[in-house]
Amino acid sequence: MGWTDVADPRDHYFHPRTDDPWWNESSFIGWKLPELNMMAMVYHFFRPNMKMAVGGPWVWDDSGADMSVIRHCGYDHYMPLPAGGDMFDVALPNGLTMETIEPQKKIRYVYENVECSFDVVFEASREPYYAKLKKGAEVAQGIHDLVKPVPEDFSIGHYEQYGYMNGQMTVNGDEIPVVDAVTVLDRSWGTRPLLANMEKVRVGYSSATVDPDHSFHVWTSSDIPGPDDPVVGTTERVTTGYLVRDGKLGEFVEGTRRIVDRGEDGRPLREIIEATDHLGRSLHAEGYATNMLRWPGVYGDYMFFAGGAFWEIDGIPQVVGELQEWMNFRTYKRYMSTQRTLSSIRV
């Protein structure tokens, strides 16, 4: 089969796999609480051939970005994969439990920790959007770092699915109702060898949801190799994504992303997306981050920025969404060094 872009509820679960130790089953989901300027995320992945589980939740707001000072960090490495556990039906040793209510439609997330707990349910607004192949057999850039080719007897794939989260959270003693919190779920499977000595391009991940019939999501990627990427003054290419407008889904066929403002630590603060879908519809979206998680070291030497955001899309302001950026450490270090040099010159 190789890469698949046909929606199938069986992709909710673990897949038939090769014996490659890098075989990976992963998902993240983030929900936004704009009234508190807060975002929560659960990211988990399994290496079933290694019998390994990795993952947990984060909760952050504008009070801190580093994982050591955010409202809660419950992410753990190198846990044993529980016997009989599946992608969304598993109880991990760190207190995170997931339960499938209906495949590709409804999932319950429960977490217990002395600092944070929650019991929330994700409900999808529509069927998942599977990232498509580019021309020929090439996987879209931005996705190609996540899954690698496999023998044709096996499948690999990736999808996004937007919806809403409802339930209850308690964070540092504060009880927080979660009511129709805007959410995007990400799902990937396949072989994923990720090491610090691999070169990775800079990618972006942006989304916003007005209502169940009005939403967008894009993957973007730099066309400049990491060693030469200046980070500032660049325009990235939309490589895959969707626009749902009036309940009708269109696939983006072209588009760009520009980050027009960054923080002192390089975090994206404001960006502009311009794209056209296969139905000929145009999207102009401007987003600005309202909080930020800064996670150095994801996937070896990847710097990961993730933030809740407000977007203006189709003339509608204050649309809840998120924006993310991932870049290689070498790219990030060079960028920060350049910024320090420019700062000293200005002084």
What is this structure's pTM? Answer: 0.94
pLDDT at site 332: 93
User: For 211-266, how does the pLDDT look when each residue is reduced to its tens digit (9 = 90+)?
Assistant: 999 999 999 999 998 889 999 999 999 999 999 999 999 999 999 999 999 999 99
pLDDT at site 142: 60
If you average pLDDT over residues 1-30, what whole number do you get? 93
pLDDT at site 331: 92
pLDDT at 195 over 90: no
Confidence of residue 197 (pLDDT cuts 50, 70, 90): confident
User: For 133-192, how does the pLDDT look when each residue is reduced to its tens digit (9 = 90+)?
Assistant: 665 556 665 665 567 778 888 999 999 999 999 999 999 999 999 999 999 999 999 998
pLDDT at site 132: 81
> How does 41-55 read in b/e, with b if 16+ C-beta sit within 10 Å?
bbbbbbbbbeeebbb
pLDDT at site 225: 86
What is the Cα–Cα distance from 163 to 31, expressed in whole angstroms? 9
pLDDT at site 6: 87
Confidence of residue 343 (pLDDT cuts 50, 70, 90): low
User: For 272-289, how does the pLDDT look when each residue is reduced to its tens digit (9 = 90+)?
Assistant: 999 999 999 999 999 999
User: For 330-340, how does the pLDDT look when each residue is reduced to its tens digit (9 = 90+)?
Assistant: 999 999 998 86
Better-scored residue on pLDDT, 139 or 88: 88
Domains in the chain with CATH codes:
22-191 (2.40.370), 198-347 (no CATH)
pLDDT at site 347: 43
Is residue 234 a contact partner of residue 222, using CB atoms and an 8 Å limit? Answer: yes
pLDDT at site 302: 87
If you average pLDDT over residues 31-55, what whole number do you get? 97
Which two structure tokens, joined as six digits, stand for 98?
């997931």
pLDDT at site 141: 58
Confidence of residue 99 (pLDDT cuts 50, 70, 90): very high
User: For 111-135, how does the pLDDT look when each residue is reduced to its tens digit (9 = 90+)?
Assistant: 999 999 999 999 999 999 998 866 5
Which residue has tokens 């500032």? Answer: 232
pLDDT at site 320: 98
pLDDT at site 139: 63
pLDDT at site 198: 79
Which residue has tokens 């190789």? Answer: 2
What is the Cα–Cα distance from 172 to 330, expressed in whole angstroms? 36
What is the Cα–Cα distance from 241 to 235, expressed in whole angstroms? 17
pLDDT at 97 over 50: yes
Q: What angle do CA 103, 108, 110 make, to 5 degrees?
A: 150
> How does 76-108 read in b/e, with b if 16+ C-beta sit within 10 Å?
beebebeeebbbbbbebebbbebebeeebbebe
Residue 255 vs residues 283, 320, 325: alpha-carbon distances, Å: 9, 21, 17
Mean pLDDT, the chain, whole residue set: 92
What is the Cα–Cα distance from 93 to 96, expressed in whole angstroms? 7
